Structure 1
């Protein structure tokens, strides 16, 4: 039986929006994955000032992916009361699902910081990485920098270009604070949830 291939789409998703969903679909298609597992963070090590409860972020993510059978949501990090490190999360996933090959999806800026993550060599031995180039991010030495990381730490890192949707959760939160519409920037179900629960105001 062939091994299943799952993408891990981690993030604060504060809130989740169409760029997140498009990236997930793009990786699913390009790497012929079986599923994308969205992993909302509980307490991430690099973003300590999150003013929205993890439950809200998890619920919005569930709402956003509910109509796509290839998208799943995990509460593994949300239920973790301690700081969530990627290597610990992947260890748990591999322990619970030894038959699944995992592809960790993240932005190019995060990939270049990979050597500073907790146990990066171990992490790269547990899963493959997909580096998604962010809009307006230009680095002529990017491929060389990624090759240096691979040579130093081992593992496989793939670079996916072509993502040009210039949209961020920061922009959406700012628009909500200013009383501006965010419709068509994220799924209607997420927009309705934000309005109902008076988030970001």
Structure 2
């Protein structure tokens, strides 16, 4: 029986918003994903620590994806007290899923541009494909010719490769450019400004009920 691509989507999700959800829905439709596993991290190594607690971020994801059959939640990284390095996670997923199963890890274009600064970045592609969503304001080419050459060497020639090869390809998706960021949402909430158009209503309700992102 043919194996189809399974995909994971990591991040801080502080809070989860439409800029997370809608591009992933678009990439799922574009390449034929039936399930995307959202995996919030606990201690992100490359950015400031989240304002909301692990349990609060998990709860916001749960209410955001409730009733959406595309998404499910994997909270394994929230159980870690140490920094969440992507390579550790994808190596664990590869061991669980077996050597032949095609695996994908969804990142934004901003993350791709800095990907070669990630811990053991080269090992990540031995475990999974990178599925890249577009982000407003970020270049579609890498910072220098050497990194651009690396990108072109790994680009998927067609979508079928993502479903037949277990790992090693990079797919640049044509996803909607949504000018939404968790940082901007937190800033607006700190200032008491509305954010109803930027994130699902159940997430906004949770933020209000629990008094999150106030200053």
TM-score (norm 2): 0.85
Please report the RMSD computed on the Cα atoms of aligned residues, expressed in angstroms: 2.2
Specify which of 179, 187, 192 is matched with residue 174 of structure 1.
187
Tell me by how many angstroms 1:4 deviates.
3.2
Aligned residue for 1:25? 25
Name the residue aligned to 2:149.
147
| Pairing 1:158–2:171 present | yes
Match for residue 131 of structure 1?
132
Unaligned runs of 5+ in 1: none
Cα 1:9/1:54, change in 2 over 3 Å = same
Contact 1:132 1:160 survives alignment (8 Å) = yes
More divergent stretch after superposition (46-55 vs 11-20): 46-55
The count of aligned residue pairs is: 200
Q: Is the 8 A contact 1:112 1:146 kept in 2?
A: no
2:57 alignment partner in structure 1: 57
Which 5+ residue runs of structure 2 have no aligned equivalent? Answer: 155-166
Post-superposition CA distance 1:95-140 (Å, at most 9, x none): 2222642211111221122222122221101000012221122355
Aligned to 2:107: 106
User: Does the 8 Å contact 2:24/2:133 carry over to 1?
Assistant: no
Q: Shift of residue 35 of structure 1?
A: 0.7
**Is the aligned partner of 1:16 residue 2:16?**
yes
Match of 2:87?
87
Alignment partners' CA distance in 1, 2:45 and 2:109? 18
Q: Secondary structure of the equivalent of 2:77?
A: coil
SS in 1 for 2:5: strand
Distance in 2 (alpha carbons) for counterparts of 1:198 and 1:38: 24
SS of the residue corresponding to residue 115 of structure 1 reads helix
